[in-house]
Amino acid sequence: MLPTWLLYATAVLFIVLAGTALFFFTLTRGALILRTVAGQADSAAAHVYPIYSNMRLIRLVDWQPIIAAILLFQYDRLVSAITSGLRQTDLRGKKVLITSCAFGNVIPRVVQASTDAGASRVLVADIILNELQHARTKLPAFAGRVDYIEENATAMTLADGSVDANVIFFLLHELPHELKGEALREACRVLAPGGKLYLAEFHRPEPWVLRALSWTYFKVFEPLGLALWDTHDPVRQLQAMEGFSCERRTVFFGNFQVIVATRKGPQ
């Protein structure tokens, strides 16, 4: 028979995990289901979870240990792959775009890497004003070098070829399928010749156990993400666009990917 303390500890752990799962389901897929039932799914931001739009929830959830755990403690590795690429690029006098805010320290790290490489301006774009305001609180050291713009990633107003690097960190898996391609086309349209798109996302895991767990997670919490495994593979979509070359790096048994798409310059 198990010791009483172990039974209590197991029960407490189960309650904590179940409560956490219910919390995130309520504020992610559950909220989208309610919007659809209530007939509120027609706005441009209808697909955005409440945890990305409500300032109180943003501040509650945006805690580095939580974000690292959600990405199976590969967060730092994924961000480092992007910032390393930025630092190795000559960005002197050029502009860098961050398309859609993301939780954790990815934004300040990308801004730091961009300015270290000589970038004159960094543009932070998001469809949700609260996200931009929250991002601003992370970047006091870069005041005057960062512009915050309220933009829809699938229909940006930035001019063609106006930035030399574009970073998208875990956005595509939350977009409706018809908008995934639109976001990629816009991300590439605003790139100047020779510019690079840095894209971090989920990927189809190699071990069957991890694949089964990931499939279950997506089915429950992020059903729009499974399409990245096959029908809406970002590399396949990027390669279908003329004038782009792609490199893909997978990490943690293939569970995550970092894609670098380069816009070819004039021949």
Residues 163-175, mean pLDDT to the nearest whole number: 97
- Name all domains of the chain by residue range, CATH numbers in brackets: 64-263 (3.40.50.150)
Longest dimension (CA), the chain: 75
What mean pLDDT is reported for the chain?
90
Percent of the chain with pLDDT over 90: 73
Whether 232 and 181 have beta carbons less than 8 Å apart is answered as yes
- pLDDT for 247: 97
Q: pLDDT by residue (tens digit) across 81-136?
A: 999 999 999 999 999 999 999 999 999 999 999 999 999 999 999 999 999 999 99
Radius of gyration in angstroms for the set of CA atoms belonging to the chain, rounded to a whole number: 19
Contacts of 6 (CB under 8 A, 6+ apart): none
**How far apart, in whole angstroms, are the C-alpha atoms of residue 149 and residue 93?**
20
Separation CA 50–CA 89 (nearest Å): 36
Residue 213: pLDDT above 80? yes
Structure confidence by residue, pLDDT tens digits, 64-85: 999 999 899 999 999 999 999 9
Q: Give the Cα separation of 26 and 157 in Å (integer).
A: 33
Residue 172 near residue 199 (C-beta atoms within 8 A): yes
In this prediction, residue 258 carries a pLDDT of 98
Of the candidates 171, 167, 178, the one whose C-alpha atom is nearest the C-alpha of residue 222 is: 171
